[in-house]
Structure 1
Amino acid sequence: PYWAAKKAGYFGDLDTDMQPGPSDGTATVKFVDVGQADMGFPSPGVFSFAIQNGMKLKSVFHMGARDTFSLAFRKGEGTNDLK
């Protein structure tokens, strides 16, 4: 999304710079939490991990048009009601 927006001129005259970080699955939330990154795009599982571990983060943007959460059940088990 960043490169497409930059190419389309969405940043105008602003001199923006993309600095990709490490690819550790939880790095994005850790860096945002300690102030080494301004934002990140973690998976729902990683975001849940961050909240559960006391990181004070907020989710304000979702790139996909569909829910990225999945449900898993033990073989032969399931649910009759997803309220």
Structure 2
Amino acid sequence: MMYGLLDNVLKEDKSGVGVIFNNVFAVATLLDAEFQNDVVQVVVRAIDRVKAESVSDEEDAKILAEERTKYEMKKEMEGENGGNRKAKA
């Protein structure tokens, strides 16, 4: 499965993926306890940094209504001009 995912990586992203794999390999093979402790602390901080804030039900409903309106407007515009496609003769 991993090789299948790697085969589907875009060409311009391959160097970034290489850096990630090199880092994973380095972290997995360095058996220094202090280093491993530092890695765990950094991972916890990274996870905490990206945790989503809770959204109230009212705010959630407002966001959904806005997105629904945008979607409906987009659909109407596509219906009016055929989605910017050339007209069939």
Q: Could you tell me the TM-score, scaled by structure 2's length?
A: 0.25
Larger radius of gyration: 2
Scaled by the length of structure 1, the TM-score of the pair is 0.26
Structure with the bigger percentage of helix: 2
